[in-house]
Chain A
Amino acid sequence: MLEASLAVSPVIAETKTATIGSDAGPLTLKINGTVRTIAVAPHSTLAEVLRGPLDLTGTKIGCDRGACSACTVWLDGIPVASCMMLAIDVGDRSVTTIEGLSDGDKLHPVQAAFIEHDAVQCGFCTPGLVMSCASVLAQNPHPTLDEVKAATSGHLCRCGTYPHVFAAMLAAATTGKG
């Protein structure tokens, strides 16, 4: 996951003779299956760009320095902390945010399980947690409790939803979905 976010995107490599100045310039991103082009200042993080010009405010910023995982999104299906990468480093990788996880009205099994097991309180950490949990199930359809704990260990939840998150994940696992 760390390797994916640190890799220099092909776009930058190709344009290494072009200067990226301090003013905003156009940036094209693949977000939730759609190609969007927006004006972005080079120092903007992916989280800021998602929440700002892209109007996808489901992704939250809790600490802005990679300590809480509230800002978790997928890059080519791999969870990353969107506050810890520059938007210009995304390149042509696909970004999936919480808004892109459900299929229209049809909730992702993790989302449905979170509701059923009340794995939500204030809801601020929830989008990031759901993204990490959905990714876990995609890679390991039957995680143990310890594996769920390890997979969610980067997420800070002050309300204390962890026990219900574990229950939701183990339930989503045993139903064989995800």
Chain B
Amino acid sequence: MRRDKFPSGIAGVSVGEIERQVPADEAPPLPTNDRLAVIGKSVPRINGRAKVTGAARFTVDIKLPSMLHARLLRSPHAHAHIVSIDTQAGERHPDVRAVHVITDVVGRAIERDPGTDHGAGGRLPPALYVGAPIAAIAATTPEAADAALRLIEVEYEVLPFVVDMEDARKPDAPAVFALPVVGSGFAGGVPAGGELQQHGNIRGPSKAGARGDIDAGFAEAEVVVEEEYRTQVQTHCCMETHSVVADWRPDGLTVYLSTQFTAGVRNELAEAFRLPRNRVRVVVDAMGGGFGSKSSAGNYARAAVALSRAAGAPVRLALDRREEQLDSGNRPGTFQRLKIGARKDGRLSAISLYTYGTAGTATGAGVGNVAQAMYECQNFASEQYDVFINAGPGCAMRGPGNTPGAFALEQTIDELAEKLTIDPLLLRDRIDASPVRREERRRGAERIGWSRRHVPGADKGPIKRGIGVAQSLWGANVQTNASCEVRLLRDGSVEILSSVQDIGTGIGTVLAQVVAEELGLRPQDITVRIGDTDFPAGPPSYGSRTTASITPPARNAAYKVKQMLFKIVAPHLGVAVEDLLMRGGRIVVRSDATRSLSLRDAAATLRTDQIGALASRSDDYGGFRRTMTDAALAENDLGGVQFAEVAVDTETGIVRVERFVAVQDCGRPMNPRQIESQVQGGILQGISYALFEDRILDRHTGYMLNADLEHYKIVGSRETPDIDVIVLENYQGQSATDAYGIAEPSNIATAPAIANAVYNAIGVRLRQLPMTPAAVLAVLGRIPRGS
């Protein structure tokens, strides 16, 4: 280990130094961005040209010789036992090459002791929602596959079902699962595993995070606010639907998959199909959006692999938009009762949260940790429950848990501020210990013009404007199981190799910047090879962890290669290794800049065609807050403070977001323009969640009524406000790049910022999402409230 000094603090506030213990083989500390050539600059996206010319290759664009086309047979019933399946007629269709019946479902909860659920006594797993996948067919054309699906005969025993969360909670509700279940994955709330109690469709409670004495806390409160909130189920709406091309060959399996985690899927498929990992390869080039829904190998991908194995040919399977809406994951809906007690000066004495939510046939509905972690409060208690309904399994969606959780928390804090007659920002200054969020509040308030804010409902006339604020908190995840290789070739060209995937965030560009900075090159001189498990395993692109996890290994691998090259070159120049640096494509003698040689000339002296080095993510230099398998939680959370300015038309109920200011932090910002894209994207998804989106299930048939993009409404260009993004440079000296993520923190505060702005505009609060025109008119008393 070495002791190194790193910049520490927020640029523009105060940046000092902090000393850290650093592994001896890692690169020395980077200075602040203003003193760097490439890092921290808005380098154009390296795959931008491919994307604007249509050359970028998405999974749905891949064509392999002899490729077959697969389609999934899906349940038309919301709940049914599958008594029998007869695939013979389908198999006899002249264009069909393979048929696969799904016997092991993934993604949804499974009964702990297999009873009526999968595999037991040779029974097939029951169909638990409209659209549940049952079987798959591979044929020479998509039309033939569709036609052959209709020839499969399924005998269903139709069972009672329930799709309304409140109906599902009743003691006499039809049971989605006959026996207690265990889940998998993370959707933001109730832990998946473990032996939680389950009564009917209600699983829980999970009481994680409790601290102090909640009763004593409320006893000392001088003011109490207690309110109920509801948030809707939201679907991811990736523009590229879930798609796969599976190519099973005698010497190994190659899977082209629109995925957020090539390395994870590789391991999953190796296990599922009992192959050694060194015979499984997962590849993705361009990828059309994930937002949490493409983190693993779902039923569709596994079916494609099974079909490819059976047919001896590559198989493509792409979900259509209806399937995508029904069965590719969703953000669970929630009910929350939040009670906060405080002293008259604003200090919180107690926070109590009772919440239940539905992830359909999966576990993990919940509201995250914002109520528990955002503000200082000694006494906290929560009870979280899953409620099962016969609907597609939920999964993580951009800021799982914290996004619905912040909707309740930030409105309740605003309400508390009003009751205490303290300005909402001033109250947060008193109860929020985070110096980063303090600075974010300060900058954002100035940019939005917080002093213009009037009392709620003050505007005369039918159009009423208002300004609101809300905060986000998100754990800074780091994937410790993340590695990167850098190679210098004998002609002086440089490659970066990692299985990490660029899902639209621009990590490929950032990697080029990191290595270019280290080797004194331009980003365009570097070839970035990513999205392929033939390369060292990188992190997933979820949890806002990609940049934090893979940029330090990339830098450290480049540093190692540089040291190797210096060892070769130094004797020829008659200097010590420490006396060399790389700049402008050359190796330069530090003490005499007139002495240098080009990287090309230096590389020409290599004994072999290349030198290379691998580096993996070490621990944060100051230590992690918590360590898990393959990942860890950094000491400091990520955050953001967002301000919304809205105009509410009290005659139509339409809420227009006119202006938005977001102040966010991500450690050392690596590429400002790409970061701005991410933050804008998070805000737009947040506006969409706040005002438009809602998955509607018909109570009587279990069908999703808006399984498309016309009736399931997402934000478009006309709803896009003026968005002002400010990103702090928050140096912490925690890794070779000191960079963290931003995708989810940019999405979490948006809906409550809008809700608080709406309250400021009309003087009445909306506690349910989405805030539709009907909902606004109802709280204004202009139309009767719906059920």
Contacts and interface: CB of A to CB of B under 8 A. Distances in A.
Given A58-B53, A127-B52, 10 more contacts: A51-B61, A57-B58, A62-B321, A65-B710, A98-B53, A115-B52, A118-B42, A118-B673, A126-B51, A160-B677
Interface string B503-537: 11110000000000000000000000000000000
B239 interface: yes
Contact of B720 (A60, A99, A149, A150): A149
Contacts of B143: 41
Ranked nearest first, the 4 interchain pairs of A and B with the lowest CB-CB distance are A58-B54, A122-B504, A123-B51, A124-B288
B55 interface: yes
A166 B718 CA distance: 11
Given A122-B289, A150-B718, A160-B681, A63 B55 contact: no
Nearest to B682: A160
A160 to B, nearest CB: 3
Interface string B751-764: 00000000000000
Contact of A118 (B48, B53, B63, B723): B48
Contact of B505 (A65, A114, A121, A155): A121
A172 interface: no
Contacts of B505: 121
Contacts of A58: 53-55
B685 interface: yes
B320 interface: yes
Contacts of B291: 158
Contact of A156 (B47, B239, B320, B506): B239
Nearest to B318: A61
B391 interface: no
Interface in A52-83: 55-65, 67-68, 70
Query: Interface majority SS on A: helix, strand, loop or mixed?
Result: loop
B458 interface: no
Interface of B: 42, 44-45, 47-58, 60-61, 63, 143, 236-240, 286-289, 291, 320-321, 503-506, 673-674, 676-678, 680-685, 708-710, 714-718, 720, 723
Given A67-B708, A160-B685, A121 B504 contact: yes
Contacts of B57: 57
A148 to B, nearest CB: 8
B676 A155 contact: no
Contacts of A166: 717, 720
Contact of B677 (A116, A118, A152, A155): A118
B240 A60 contact: yes
A150 B55 CA distance: 27
Contact of B718 (A116, A153, A161): A153
Interface string A94-126: 000111011000010001001111101111111
A122 B287 contact: yes
Given A65-B708, A163-B680, A122 B52 contact: no
A51 B649 CA distance: 45
Q: Which of B676, B717, B718 has the most CB of A within 10 A?
A: B717
Interface in A117-156: 117-118, 120-127, 130, 148-150, 152-156
B320 A123 contact: no
Nearest to A146: B718
B706 to A, nearest CB: 11
Given A63-B321, A153-B717, A114 B52 contact: yes
A47 to B, nearest CB: 12
A122 B506 CA distance: 9
B239 A158 contact: yes
Given A122-B288, A149-B720, A159-B289, A57 B61 contact: yes
A60 B58 contact: yes
B637 to A, nearest CB: 23
Contact of B709 (A63, A99, A101, A164): A63
Contact of B45 (A120, A152, A160): A120
Contacts of A101: 53
A173 interface: no
A74 to B, nearest CB: 13
Contacts of B715: 160
Name the residue among A118, A127, A155, A161 with the largest chain B CB count within 10 angstroms: A118
B237 A158 contact: yes
B503 A122 contact: yes
Contact of A125 (B47, B239, B682): B239
15 contacts: A56-B54, A62-B239, A68-B709, A111-B52, A114-B48, A121-B677, A126-B52, A153-B716, A157-B716, A158-B289, A160-B682, A160-B715, A161-B681, A162-B717, A164-B677
A29 interface: no
Nearest to B710: A67
A165 interface: yes
B426 to A, nearest CB: 31
Contacts of B682: 160
Contacts of A124: 58, 239-240, 286, 288-289
In this complex, the member of B42, B52, B673, B708 whose beta carbon has the largest number of chain A beta carbons within 10 angstroms is B52
A122 to B, nearest CB: 3
A118 B709 contact: no
A150 B286 CA distance: 28
Nearest to B55: A58
A162 B504 contact: no
Given A116-B44, A121-B505, A122-B239, A107 B708 contact: no
A159 B681 contact: yes
A111 B715 CA distance: 23
A57 B717 contact: no
Contacts of B239: 60, 62, 68, 70, 122, 124-125, 156-159
A112 B500 CA distance: 27
**A122, A124, A154 pick with most chain B CB within 10 angstroms:** A122
Nearest to B321: A63
A166 to B, nearest CB: 8
A117 B709 CA distance: 27
Contacts of A118: 42, 44-45, 48, 673-674, 676-677
Contacts of B238: 158
A123 B504 contact: yes
Nearest to B674: A118
